[in-house]
Amino acid sequence: MKSCIRFASLTLALTSLGAGTMATHSFADDATVAKQSEKPQTPKAAAKSDKAKVGAAAPAIALTDTEGKSWSLADAKGKVVVLQWVNPECPVSRRVVEDGTVAATLKGVREAFPDAVYVGINSSSSRPSSFEASKGDMAKHNLAVPVLIDTDASVCKLYGAKTTPQCFVIDAAGVLVYSGAIDDSPSGGAKTNYVVDAVQAIKAGKPVSPSETKPYGCGVKNK
């Protein structure tokens, strides 16, 4: 009888020990899971800036011109596009229009690509009189160049335009391939027209070089 009691007691002790061990393992597993869940998550990569960058897709543009017509960069898909920042109240911007620089640039661009799109952009949001002065300004100089009004200078900031007459060239694939001065002379009598050279390089299937130059002219007058 005593043997049976001792056997029963031993069995009960072993059973209790096993349960305790299982419980210990269970608590350890729970602690491990909890600890893993506390590990800091790997941060997601920051979203890439959608600001203009040479070699990258040109940011979208949707503005209205001085005649009240809507213009979108998407409408020029498949075509070479030249953007020129303008301000009729800036002496340098006015000079390139009056001395034939813009006319020569437009001619060179169209000789390479007859369907190329050439537009002016006025972002002088702090000078409303400049917007008014842009009406008919290009036509007055026999230039078929619509001027888009960037009322809040959002496109100017998107492209990083610093001066008038800074230019940007976008190829037919929608990639920004040139940013900078229209030519190599702030005072006139230029020897190199960077915009025409960029467009001719696109035509020849060659890399645009230089792809960036320091723009000259008046600072863009925006808020």
CATH number of the domain to which 74 belongs: 3.40.30.10
Specify the pTM. Answer: 0.78
Q: Per the domain annotation, does 57 fall within a domain?
A: no
| Same-domain check for residues 3 and 77 | no
| Rounded CA separation 6/13 (Å) | 10
Give the per-residue pLDDT at 20. 43
Q: Per the domain annotation, does 54 fall within a domain?
A: no
Q: Per the domain annotation, does 52 fall within a domain?
A: no
| Same-domain check for residues 34 and 109 | no
Cis peptide bond prior to 59, omega within 30° of 0: no
Residue ranges in the chain modelled with pLDDT below 50: 1-49
With the C-alpha atoms ordered 46, 61, 122, 184, is the resulting torsion angle positive or negative?
Answer: positive
Q: Per the domain annotation, does 134 fall within a domain?
A: yes
Give the per-residue pLDDT at 14. 35
Provide the number of structural domains found in the chain.
2
Q: Per the domain annotation, does 77 fall within a domain?
A: yes
**What is the span of the domain harbouring residue 16?**
1-38
> H/E element holding 107?
helix 101-112
